């Protein structure tokens, strides 16, 4: 979506952060906004997902605002 000019933020867990760097660079988008999530996130339950979402929501919003500047 970001390549199409649509404001986007990649959500990447700590474990895969280095791979996120590689993918972003290889796609020619080294500055694509990303927000780091704890790992693991999948399979940790609805309550944990809500807690993590609450923790990172402001970061995601700030990253999206940076896309609009």
Q: Which residues contact 68 (CB under 8 A, 6 or more apart)?
A: 7
Does residue 69 have a pLDDT over 80? no
pLDDT tens track for 37-63:
999 999 999 999 999 999 999 999 999
Domain membership flag for residue 8: no
Query: Rounded to an integer, what distance in angstroms lies between the CA atom of residue 6 and that of residue 13?
Result: 22
Domain membership flag for residue 10: no
Range of the domain at 63: 23-33+40-69
Q: What percent of the chain has pLDDT over 70?
A: 99
What is the average pLDDT value for the chain, to the nearest integer? 94
Domain membership flag for residue 49: yes
Q: Whole-model pTM?
A: 0.85
Domain membership flag for residue 60: yes
Does residue 29 have a pLDDT over 80? yes
In the chain, the number of structural domains is 1
| Strand positions, DSSP E, the chain | 10-13, 34-37
The pLDDT value given to residue 68: 74
CA distances from 20 to 29, 47, 48, 51, 54 (A): 11, 26, 23, 23, 22
Domain membership flag for residue 51: yes
Domain membership flag for residue 2: no
């Amino acid at each position: 979506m970001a390549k199409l000019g649509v404001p986007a933020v990649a959500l990447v867990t700590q474990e895969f952060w280095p791979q996120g760097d590689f993918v972003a660079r290889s796609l020619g988008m080294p500055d694509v906004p990303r927000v780091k999530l704890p790992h693991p996130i999948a399979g940790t339950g609805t309550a944990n997902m809500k807690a993590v979402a609450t923790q990172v929501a402001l970061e995601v919003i700030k990253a999206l605002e940076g896309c609009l500047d």
